[in-house]
Amino acid sequence: SQLLCKVEVDDKTDCMHEESFDNMMTEQEHSELIEKQKRENIYHKFVENHLVLKQGLVDKKRGLFSRRRMMLLTEGPHLYYVDPVNMVLKGQIPWSRELRPEAKNFHIFYVHTPKRTYYLDDPDGYALEWVKSIQEVWDRYFGTPKVVKK
Ligand code: 4IP
């Protein structure tokens, strides 16, 4: 990814990856987080070395049935989903600027994409948090760039 430089971090000029920009993370802090994830997150092997921003179990409905999946929102951006019983990557919700999350209530939320709307149910009732996180990632990658002033 593109490196952005001449940004003030703790009073010194530093460089950082574009995707870390909003978090004002340095390149080193970013790779430390990836290393920690590699050590501690059993789902790390599915996310192509991307930093996980949010993860949780959700029921993904398709037709009459639903499948419980570990949903992993990562930098990139990506939305991977894994079968947590068999520990198999089942797919990704394709990201584009047309992707749009929408909450129906505390449990149910949608991820609209040009070809398909994903029907998701958070059994713990954190649908609003999912929508907020996905929207934040949308803003970071597709929103108007922020101007950083000294
Ligand atoms: C499957 O239903 C699962 O819901 C799949 O989800 C889903 O694929 C299939 O939809 C759907 O037919 P059964 O398990 O009852 O057969 P997952 O891949 O998470 O196991 P996706 O991944 O696309 O949601 P189709 O239309 O994609 O085949």
Regarding the beta carbon of 65 and ligand 1, being less than 6 Å apart is answered yes
pLDDT in tens, 135-148: 999 999 999 876 66
pLDDT in tens, 38-53: 999 999 999 999 999 9
Q: 68-73 contacts: CB < 8 A, separation 24 or more?
A: 70/43, 71/120, 71/130, 72/43, 72/46, 72/47, 73/133, 73/134, 73/137
Instruction: Please state the length of the chain.
Output: 150
Regarding the beta carbon of 69 and ligand 1, being less than 6 Å apart is answered yes
Regarding the beta carbon of 116 and ligand 1, being less than 6 Å apart is answered no
Antiparallel, parallel or unpaired: β 88-93 and 108-112: unpaired
CA distance readout (Å), 84 to 37, 55, 59, 93, 127: 17, 12, 12, 17, 19
Beta-bridge mates of residue 9: 12
Q: Give ipTM to 2 decimals.
A: 0.96
